[in-house]
Amino acid sequence: MEFTQLGRTGLKVSQLCLGTMNFGPQTIEAESFAIMDKAHELGINFFDTANVYGWKLGEGVTEQIIGHWFAQAGGRREKTVLATKVYGRMGDWPNQQRLSALNIRQACEASLKRLKTDYIDLYQFHHVDRLTPWEEIWQACEVLVQQGKVIYVGSSNFAGWQIAKANEAAKARHFMGLSSEQSLYNLNDRMIELEVIPACKDYGLGLIPWSPLAGGLLGGVLEKIEKGRRASEDTQKEIEKNRAKLEKWEAYCKQIGEQPADVALAWLLRNPVVTAPIIGPRTLEQLNGALRALEIKLDEAALKALDEIFPGPGGEAPEAYAW
């Protein structure tokens, strides 16, 4: 496993980030423990979660599973760069969601309790809150940093101008601001190349792509269906919408002798702004399979071929549409 810095920070994280969203709903606690143990064995030190994961209102099921794993000791917490998120609704009362100073404080305390730790390495805003001023958000975060409960702060699902606004507000307060942005990004979803990636580059944010396989579309879905695997109704709709591209994609991967999922991850890792794609294995087999991506080095010819299959928006704004 190779390690890289999270954006402009000095924090070293693995080039793959373990996503834990399946822990609880699809992967039982014992299997989740095995996946996290294996991740450490493979050198993956970067784990991502959120207070809403587990999808049972207010319970934080996934955070609880991770907390139970940390409680086994053995250096598990110390070896892990832990990222979680705040914003989603965690109760029926009006201040149990979004980014008010009150919710940030209460949500952080609740996450710390569930995770059985006294600090969060990377505390991420799960979504932008258009109703709360940045002065309030940053004041709440400054207190958490001063108390040692949060070390770095990141965003998720932000637009480029929102990243700029957040970090300019932080700069005015002599606060570090955002260290990372977690965005939807993969070969089939390249919209953030217009403004989010340039903003990350300019402000020194590490990009953490979620859904790197486009919900399974880039994982060899056509070949899997041919072999008898069933696809959900939503996946079937996406397949039909993108069938022409997917046929070319899987043919190209077969031509170069690599698995589609591995090539999709390798393409993301080729981008210097990308810190670590989030992989969300449901099983140990899926976790082990992701490591091949670190060995694949895509040359300029390969990148050109992939651009022809998945064109993207045409580069950065405004050149992509104005010149």
Residues forming the active site:
53
Token digits of residue 2 = 């190779």
Token digits of residue 284 = 């140990």
The answer to whether 154 touches 178, Cβ cutoff 8 Å, is: yes
Burial string for 198-221 (b: 16+ CB within 10 Å, else e) reads: bbbeebbbbbbbbbbbbbbbbbbb
The answer to whether 114 touches 145, Cβ cutoff 8 Å, is: no
β-pairing, 46-48 vs 12-14, is: unpaired
Q: How far apart are CA 263 and CA 253, in angstroms?
A: 7
Q: How far apart are CA 32 and CA 282, in angstroms?
A: 8
Q: How far apart are CA 291 and CA 284, in angstroms?
A: 12
Side-chain half-sphere CA neighbours of 55 within 13 A: 7
The answer to whether 116 touches 71, Cβ cutoff 8 Å, is: yes
Side-chain half-sphere CA neighbours of 2 within 13 A: 9
Q: How far apart are CA 182 and CA 311, in angstroms?
A: 22
Sign of the alpha-carbon dihedral angle for 50, 56, 60, 61: negative
Q: How far apart are CA 190 and CA 185, in angstroms?
A: 6
Q: How far apart are CA 60 and CA 287, in angstroms?
A: 23
Task: Give the three-state DSSP class for 27.
Answer: strand
